[in-house]
Structure 1
Amino acid sequence: MIDEILQRQLSTALSEQLKVKIHINDAKSVHGGDINQTFRIATNEGYFFLKLNDAKRYPEMFAAEYAGLEALYATHALAVPQPLAYGSCNGQTYLLMEHLIKGVAIQDFWEDFGASLAQLHKKTQPHFGYAAPNYIGTLKQYNTPYTNWPVFYAFNRLLPLAKIAYDQQIIDQNMMYQMERLCKRLPQLFPADAPALLHGDLWSGNFMVGQDGKVCVFDPAIYYGHREMDLAMTRLFGGFDTRFYYAYQAAWPLSPGWQQRIGVCQLYPLLVHTLLFGGNYYNSIKEILQAY
């Protein structure tokens, strides 16, 4: 159960957002990944979903996630849980949002998912990046704007995390050199593509079948980037159904050579998982770098 002070703050936030008096009856701890404490909040107006984390360590994490959900919600391309409130209380930071109800997948679920992602990616802006830094997991994600994708990917994604991994003695000097060498080759590897609004952390653990039978995504780490980043991420950790990829290609074909760029695009999420969870991700990074 969450403490009474936080309950009162959440009740007030929900009441202001929904324009009706909200009473919290119960808060049940539920599984919500490895990063946050998560709860299903029972109220007189139904259920809501709550995330909690350390306010001192991650003061802006939920503010950034709230903004990311709002940005995705506004596109009407992919369903997301509606963000309702964020704030801090007693040393904890919180994010309150719609509680999702699982449904039964429609017959063409994967085709609809692929086409919907392509629709999201068509939302663009003049530069790669985002208005402010945000998070992927508990790692700060830098979004300094650049008009050039290879420069953005090198200086905002690969090199900062590689430096952290090197400082923590996860990768050695030779791998750091290989990473720097790859970054110099990025302009030759990536063709020009417009900045696309990305989910940013799109793997099988961050979507579900919604009540309407279509996809609903959550836990975004949004920014405007190269659209192959989202697609490469979907191929990690088991991958998506083949129909998803065919539908995306039918809706908006990728540039030639995309198959050869999958590993390069996967380097960023692999570095993230190496820093957060350790494990065998190191070997995957090493294998990709050795190819360049």
Structure 2
Amino acid sequence: MASSESAKTSTRNTTGKTLSPSSNGNVLDVPNSFIVDSNVLGKFPGGTKIISAHETVASAWTTTAQLQVQIDDGSEETYFLKLASGDHGRIMIEGEFNSMSELYACAPDFVPEPHSWGRYAKGNPDTYFFLSQFLKMDHTMPDPEYLCSKLARLHHDSNSPTGKFGFHSTTCQGRTSQCVGWEENWTVFFAKLLQHVIDLDLEVNGYWEPLDKVKKRLIKHVIPRLLDALISDGRSIKPSLLHSDLWEGNTGTLATNGRVYIFDAASFYAHNEMEVANWRGYYNKISDEVYTKTYLSYFPPSEPKAEWEDRNRLYSVYYNVIYSVNHESQGTAVRQLAFSDMYYLVNKFAPFPEGEAPPHLQESEIASLSAERDHTLA
């Protein structure tokens, strides 16, 4: 955290550059160590004063702060503020506001109330902000019963406004945008969703021919085989609202009453089973099987139930690939995991013709995930 003295001259943004206070009053000098732009204050009723503002945890792509404000009637309120910079920062911030607003509309007892989003009056590059209710939470592992019962209810009760799969604005997992344009057909939607992040991975982390070959066969043959079965023989699946980046780091528990809240969402409407596929990743503590088992006790697998495990593996590929895109070389082990899972599904449902299969990973080629990224070690 910056010292109070340095905070009077600059504040950090996600590019590592600084935002300098202007001489025309666009930056507010408030107590503690964080500078607040006048456009943030403009989101509150007239007469509101900022009592204090201090930086909290800074992620790789955003900066966050806690704001204490005094409303004109003398009452005080606390808010969470998140900043991100540049054109991509705008997409991240707008997407999070829309995600949290959609979640709050459906499950107001499960997410902090979003307040607003906007752009700083000054900043180079442009800086964007998201405001929401601040809740004092413990970041211990969430209670499985509480988390999974609330999550299952969200999936049951939510209804896509278009009746389709997708979302009305672009959302991001980490710094990576998701391909969430509306589609009537789940198979088509998921194929586009996965194709988008694998293409990004090949661009960001370098072309890998075996991955490209396995991806093409998976998308052409395996995805239709597994997902079309969900709507065969008169079956159907509903688009459910997903958080879509739900690991233990995006949950918190109120110390006062034990309620679990979720935040930092990257939402879209999808097959509900996709949500818990993110819990398959061994690098998160929420991979503990108690969470998936508890969720399934509230929301049983879709038919055909015998293929739930294969669908779970397929959906997890998406999360592992987007992890690889976000963390680049530090995500090599997870990229390899995605490749191995794709290859497993191809071998099971659409094997390569003899002589056309790319090489499998050799044991000597398998990378280890860095301790920094393996949250089970924390």
The alignment's TM-score, normalised by the length of structure 2, stands at: 0.70
How many angstroms does 1:272 deviate by? 1.1
Inter-partner Cα distance in structure 2 for 1:168 and 1:249:
35
Aligned residues: 286
Can you give the 5+ residue segments of structure 1 that lack an aligned partner in the other structure? none
Shift of 1:142: 1.8
Matching residue of 1:128: 165
In structure 1, the partner of 2:364 is none
Indicate yes or no: 2:289 matched with 1:239: no
Residue 101 of structure 1: aligned partner: 136
Q: Distance in 2 between matches of 1:290 and 1:52?
A: 39
Answer 1 or 2: higher relative contact order, Cα 8 Å, separation at least 6: 1
* Structure of larger gyration radius: 2
Cα pair 1:65 1:134 within 8 Å, conserved: yes
Rate the CA distance shift 1:248–1:57 in 2: closer, same or farther, 3 A.
closer
Find out whether 1:219 has 2:268 as its counterpart: no
Aligned residue identity for 2:298: A
The one-letter code sitting in structure 1 at the alignment partner of 2:39 is Q
CA contact (8 A) 2:139 2:252 kept: no
3-state DSSP of counterpart to 1:57? helix
- Decide whether aligned partners of structure 1 residues 173 and 219 sit closer, same or farther in structure 2, where only a CA change above 3 A counts: same
Counterpart residue number, 2:223: 186
Q: Distance in 2 between matches of 1:233 and 1:68?
A: 18
Letter of the 1:219 partner, please give it. Answer: D
Give 4+ residue runs of structure 1 displaced > 6 Å after superposition.
none
Please give the secondary structure, in 2, of the residue aligned with 1:183. Answer: helix
Checking the alignment, whether the CA contact within 8 Å between 1:51 and 1:96 is kept in structure 2 is: yes
Contact 2:40 2:118 in 1 (8 A): no
1:125-274 pair list within 5 angstroms? 125=160, 126-155=163-192, 157-184=193-220, 185-190=222-227, 191-192=230-231, 193-210=237-254, 211-236=256-281, 237-239=284-286, 242-255=289-302, 256=305, 257-274=307-324
Using the TM superposition, name which of 47-56 and 219-228 deviates more.
47-56
The 1:286–1:81 alpha-carbon spacing in structure 2 relative to 1, beyond 3 Å, is: same
Contact 1:26 1:41 in 2 (8 A): yes
Kindly indicate whether the alpha-carbon contact (under 8 Å) linking 2:205 and 2:325 is maintained by their aligned counterparts in 1.
no
- Give the counterpart letter for 2:154 in structure 1: L
SS in 2 for 1:97: strand
Distance in 2 separating the partners of 1:46 and 1:124: 32
CA deviations on 1:84-133 (whole Å, 9 max, x unpaired) are: 1211112210111111112699xx93212111111111223321111222
Structure 1 length as normaliser, TM-score? 0.89
Deviations 1:42-84 (A, max 9, x none): 3331321111111333223212211111111111275111111
Task: Name the structure 2 match of 1:37.
Answer: 63
> Does residue 1:87 correspond to 2:118, yes or no?
yes
Q: Percent identity?
A: 23
Offset, 1:186: 0.9
Rounded to whole Å, the distance in 2 between the matches of 1:153 and 1:64 is 19
